[in-house]
Amino acid sequence: MLNKIRLGLFGAEDSIEIMKSVIVNFPEFTIVPVSYWQDDEIIEKLLAHEEKVDMWLFSGPIPYKFAKRGSGITKSMFYVPYSGSSLYKTLLQISYHQQIPFNQISYDTFRPDELRQVAVELEVSLEPLYVNCYEGEIHTDEVVRYHYELWKKGQTKAAVTCLKNAQHELLNLGVPAFRVLPSQSAIISTLSLIRQTQETIHFKDSQIAVQMIEFDSFLSLTKDSFSTDEIHRVEIKMTEKLLEYAKEINGSLKYAGPGRYVIFTTRGILQEATKGFTQVPDPGKRELTANDAVTSGIGIGQTVYEAEINSGTALLHAKEHGNGSMMVVFDDKTISGPLGQPEQITYDFSSEHLQSISEKTALSVTTLSKLESILRKLGKKEINAHELAQQMKIMPRSARRILTELEGNGLAQVVAEETIHPRGRPRKVYQIELK
């Protein structure tokens, strides 16, 4: 049986009260309400309550989008979509009390096609003309400015917003502003999705996780203490440290040969210890120091065998990044790391699409997947050899070889040259198309 889900409710106070009135009928949830007013409060308030919740439910897409772009928030996040029924109620209020035509109202949050569908269902022949739809987060003052400028020019007679603070500011400016609130049906639908997600997470948390650890005992020796007895003492000390670490993560330690150990535990425990597979576990908890030169790979799998194979693969990739590195291979054959590094990337080493490219070039699927992940992380298709070398932690000449190989096979082309130093050679900028 699953434990109760600690659900953080985030939004304006009145929206939270509406959500609470629905969620009280679902005993599997306990509620942690967190209200906000200003945009700049969102991340700070979420982080302050992050450890008190299992999942977040936002009253709408705007605070949700701010949270998605924030750092340090690791819990699953959902928001209540503004369904047709909640908009119908608002439009009926405007029609009944204000008698304002559909096409003389400005809207935010909704997509034009959603509003057109509402017009069809309400049998309104007028098209919505003023719709501020946005993909990412948007600040309240931008929403207010959009509605206010239209109203001030006489193009609209009212505004429909999904933000309480935007409605408040618009009313202060004299704009007839109406707000769309979460509907009961949309809240119930989102709660169902949250429950399904929690069941999936519970299953994943119970998956087998294997951490393969390798250390070089010679690095702990000095010239004066170089002896087989001293090496043996170093290994005994390391075993003691790893036993303490295994105890911390409820795992069992297995000796796997000189300088190599394996710990068996569960995905959920390691995910918590590594803060969502982004950080190296606290050295204090591991009873390890920086001088221990521990390199490790974490493998996740449906079976012990699969997890152990994946941990070995992760260790090999970690060793490419040097002593002290840690990588993770998941059961879907994606790999992530190095943990704790600002340049951490996640890539796939079993992609069929990249396999076909690999067969045409001298580049491995892993190299191509790393490149694809780096471009996705940077949010662009252009890169130079120096930048690629930094991201991949390889020599610039190796990065140039990768780019030249892609260019020779029609997968990259030089689109610019950058001159960093007056006497230096210009750096070629390549546009990559892994098709």
In a domain, 347, yes or no: no
Q: Which of 306, 341, 376 is the last residue of a domain?
A: 341
Residue 205 has pLDDT above 90, yes or no: no
Residue 124 has pLDDT above 80, yes or no: no
Q: Quick one: average pLDDT of 106-122?
A: 82
pLDDT band for 292, please (50, 70, 90 cuts).
low
Residue 378 has pLDDT above 70, yes or no: yes
Strand order in the sheet with 326-329: 252-255, 260-266, 208-215, 294-301, 326-329, 334-337, 345-348
Q: Taking the CB of residue 413, how many other CB atoms lie within 10 A of it?
A: 13
In a domain, 261, yes or no: yes
Residue 212 has pLDDT above 90, yes or no: yes
Instruction: Looking at the structure, tell me whether residues 33 and 90 fall in a common domain.
Output: no
Residue 144 has pLDDT above 90, yes or no: yes
> Mapped to the 3 state alphabet, what secondary structure does 255-273 carry?
ECCCCEEEEEEEHHHHHHH
Alpha helix stretches (DSSP H) within 212-282: 228-248, 267-273
Instruction: Looking at the structure, tell me whether residues 217 and 323 fall in a common domain.
Output: yes
Instruction: Looking at the structure, tell me whether residues 369 and 286 fall in a common domain.
Output: no
Give the residue among 119, 132, 196, 195 at the shortest CA–CA distance from 159: 132
In a domain, 105, yes or no: yes
CATH number at residue 422: 1.10.10.10
Q: Which of 341, 368, 396 is the last residue of a domain?
A: 341
Q: How many Å is the maximal CA-CA distance in the chain?
A: 92
Give the residue among 141, 120, 119 at the shortest CA–CA distance from 132: 141
Instruction: Looking at the structure, tell me whether residues 74 and 103 fall in a common domain.
Output: no
What string of DSSP letters covers 357-406? HHHHSS--HHHHHHHHHHHHHHTSSEEEHHHHHHHHT--HHHHHHHHHHH
In a domain, 188, yes or no: no
Instruction: Looking at the structure, tell me whether residues 76 and 91 fall in a common domain.
Output: no
In the prediction, which pLDDT does 252 show? Answer: 92
In the prediction, which pLDDT does 143 show? Answer: 92
Place of tokens 């009926």: 92
User: Where is average pLDDT lowest: 90-99, 365-374, 396-405?
Assistant: 90-99
In a domain, 195, yes or no: no
Instruction: Looking at the structure, tell me whether residues 210 and 266 fall in a common domain.
Output: yes
Question: From the centroid of its chain, how far is CA 318?
Answer: 22
Instruction: Looking at the structure, tell me whether residues 366 and 329 fall in a common domain.
Output: no
How does strand 76-79 pair with strand 105-108? unpaired
Residue 129 has pLDDT above 90, yes or no: no
pLDDT tens digits along 324-366: 889 999 988 888 888 888 777 887 766 777 888 888 888 888 8
pLDDT tens digits along 49-74: 999 999 999 998 888 988 887 767 88
CATH number at residue 56: 3.40.50.2300
pLDDT band for 224, please (50, 70, 90 cuts).
low
pLDDT band for 284, please (50, 70, 90 cuts).
low
In a domain, 18, yes or no: yes
Q: How far apart are CA 54 and CA 6, in angstroms?
A: 5
In the prediction, which pLDDT does 423 show? Answer: 63
Residue 119 has pLDDT above 80, yes or no: no
pLDDT tens digits along 183-202: 888 999 999 999 888 877 77
Q: How far apart are CA 116 and CA 122, in angstroms?
A: 10
Tokens (6 digits) for 419: 């001159």
Top pLDDT among 116 and 423 is at 116
Q: Is 217 helix (H, G, I), strand (E, B) or coil?
A: helix
In a domain, 304, yes or no: yes
Instruction: Looking at the structure, tell me whether residues 211 and 279 fall in a common domain.
Output: yes
Q: What is the mean pLDDT of the chain?
A: 85
Q: Which of 285, 314, 341 is the last residue of a domain?
A: 341
Structural domain of residue 26, as residue ranges? 5-80
Residue 415 has pLDDT above 80, yes or no: yes
pLDDT band for 170, please (50, 70, 90 cuts).
very high
How does strand 55-58 pair with strand 76-79? parallel
Give the residue among 300, 367, 293 at the shortest CA–CA distance from 327: 300
In the prediction, which pLDDT does 227 show? Answer: 65
What beta strand segments (E) does 3-136 contain?
Answer: 5-11, 29-35, 55-58, 76-79, 105-108, 130-132
Residue 367 has pLDDT above 70, yes or no: yes
Residue 313 has pLDDT above 70, yes or no: yes
Q: How far apart are CA 338 and CA 298, in angstroms?
A: 11
Residue 222 has pLDDT above 60, yes or no: no
Instruction: Looking at the structure, tell me whether residues 141 and 218 fall in a common domain.
Output: no
pLDDT band for 422, please (50, 70, 90 cuts).
low
In the prediction, which pLDDT does 178 show? Answer: 92
Q: What's the burial of 272, exposed, middle or buried (CB within 10 Å: 0-12/13-18/19+)? A: middle
For residue 296, give every residue at least 6 positions away whose Cβ sits within 8 Å of its Cβ, in sequence order, or none.
211, 212, 213, 214, 314, 315, 318, 326
Residue 402 has pLDDT above 60, yes or no: yes
User: Where is average pLDDT lowest: 174-188, 200-214, 271-285, 406-420?
Assistant: 271-285
Instruction: Give helix 396-408 / helix 385-392 axis angle, nearest 10°.
Output: 120
Domains: count for the chain: 4
Q: Quick one: average pLDDT of 152-171?
A: 93
CATH number at residue 289: 3.30.70.270
Instruction: Looking at the structure, tell me whether residues 244 and 132 fall in a common domain.
Output: no
CATH number at residue 133: 3.40.50.10660
Provide, rounded to the nearest whole percent, the portion of the chain with pLDDT above 70. Answer: 90
Q: How far apart are CA 428 and CA 425, in angstroms?
A: 9
Instruction: Looking at the structure, tell me whether residues 237 and 321 fall in a common domain.
Output: yes
In a domain, 201, yes or no: no
Instruction: Looking at the structure, tell me whether residues 153 and 212 fall in a common domain.
Output: no
Q: Quick one: average pLDDT of 281-296?
A: 63
Sign of CA dihedral 166, 172, 177, 180: positive
Phi, psi dihedrals of residue 273, rounded to the nearest 5°: -65, -30
Residue 29 has pLDDT above 70, yes or no: yes
In the prediction, which pLDDT does 188 show? Answer: 93
Q: Taking the CB of residue 304, how many other CB atoms lie within 10 A of it?
A: 13
Q: How far apart are CA 109 and CA 45, in angstroms?
A: 23
Place of tokens 């069809």: 120
Q: Quick one: average pLDDT of 237-241?
A: 84
Residue 8 has pLDDT above 70, yes or no: yes
